[in-house]
Amino acid sequence: MTDGPSIEAVGLTRRFGDFTAVDRVFFEVSRGEIFGYLGANGAGKSTTIRMLTGLLTPTSGEARVAGYDVATSPESVKASIGYMSQKFSLYLDLPVWENLLFFGGAYGLWGDALKVRAGEILELTGLVDFRGATTGSLPGGIRQRLALGCAILHRPGVVFLDEPTAGVDPVARRRFWKLIRELSAAGTTVFVTTHYLDEAEYCRRIGLMADGRLVALDTPAALKRAWVPDRVLVARGRNLLVAAAALAARPGVAAAEPFGAGLHVRVSPDRWDAASVRAALGAAGASDVQVEEAEPSLEDVFLAVVGRPQTAPVEAGP
């Protein structure tokens, strides 16, 4: 499994009766890459993960994970991956340490080797102080790090994380992502689904799912360039709300929406720039206006992708 991609999906499809949850998905994830899988609820993210982890058989198409075919040798796939399911299912009545020992045992580790490895995981995840604490008494952020620890005890080459940060506070999320980057730097491939678009910026590449189809796949920067050709500006000043409506009605203005204390403006780069927007807002009644160029966010990309009419699925490699 040294050469070739860590994960490879070729026309991967899953139907439940008449409903197609995942529709002809193609992608490759190379070794050590952090691959983000984005989409609304029900877009097919979890179904894709379950096929890649050998939990669900694909209806058609194929996938190889760590060099093994998920349909024909799911057992080999299971032995070489780590999986953290949506509601990280730890045993809450058991202490942190016992959870680690159990999942280690489930992957065939035992004796001193298991204890040494579990100790390493405590260090790595920063849970040494919580060794004997009952898991159920710990806050979500700590449980989430423990769940990740349980998923990587057996040193898997590929880790699947299904919405690992759902319901966890921002500080804990940041700490968690630091762990993921460390894993990736050490050569582990990370396949992660998330709702949080700010987190997706940490991924080397992002796949966007909509209605079971992979509609966009690229690095965050390339996605922004491709999907948000508009110039994004942030305006601050007084009486902006009144002026916003007037600005939005002008040709070449894609959007002018309140954003925090200011105004988020997307305009055609051929017709508008910071100075002309500032002038237009001033003419429409705003005062003390300052306008700055801003980088489009992944949220802009997501809205652009999901909002557009559906076309054929994207076929793309790394």
Contact call for residue 107 and another protein (CB under 8 A): yes
CA distances in angstroms from 97 to 81, 100, 106, 159, 164, listed in the order given: 21, 5, 14, 21, 20
| Binding segment toward another protein, per CB under 8 A, in 33-41, 100-108, 233-241, 259-267 | 100-108
Tokens representing 189 are 């491939």
Contact call for residue 259 and another protein (CB under 8 A): no
CB atoms within 10 A of CB 17: 5
Contacts of 223 (CB under 8 A, 6+ apart): 206, 208, 216, 298, 301
The strand order across the sheet containing 158-162 reads: 81-84, 158-162, 189-194, 34-39, 205-210, 213-218
Amino acid at 235: A
Tokens representing 171 are 């500080």
Which one among 39, 61, 104, 262 touches another protein, defined by CB under 8 A? 104
Contact call for residue 75 and another protein (CB under 8 A): yes
| Binding segment toward another protein, per CB under 8 A, in 96-104, 115-123, 137-145, 308-316 | 96-104
Amino acid at 119: G
Contact call for residue 42 and another protein (CB under 8 A): no
What is the closest distance, in whole angstroms, from the C-beta atom of residue 95 to another protein in the complex? Answer: 9
| Binding segment toward another protein, per CB under 8 A, in 51-59, 121-129, 197-205, 307-315 | 51-59
Q: Closer to another protein at the Cβ: 90 or 206?
A: 90
What is the closest distance, in whole angstroms, from the C-beta atom of residue 47 to another protein in the complex? Answer: 10
Which one among 42, 60, 72, 87 touches another protein, defined by CB under 8 A? 87
Contact call for residue 109 and another protein (CB under 8 A): yes
DSSP-derived secondary structure for 250-271: STTEEEEEEETTEEEEEE-TTT
Which one among 71, 94, 234, 254 touches another protein, defined by CB under 8 A? 94
Tokens representing 175 are 């700490």
Contact call for residue 113 and another protein (CB under 8 A): no
Residues near another protein (CB under 8 A) are 16, 50, 53-57, 75, 78-79, 81, 83, 85-87, 89-94, 98, 101-110
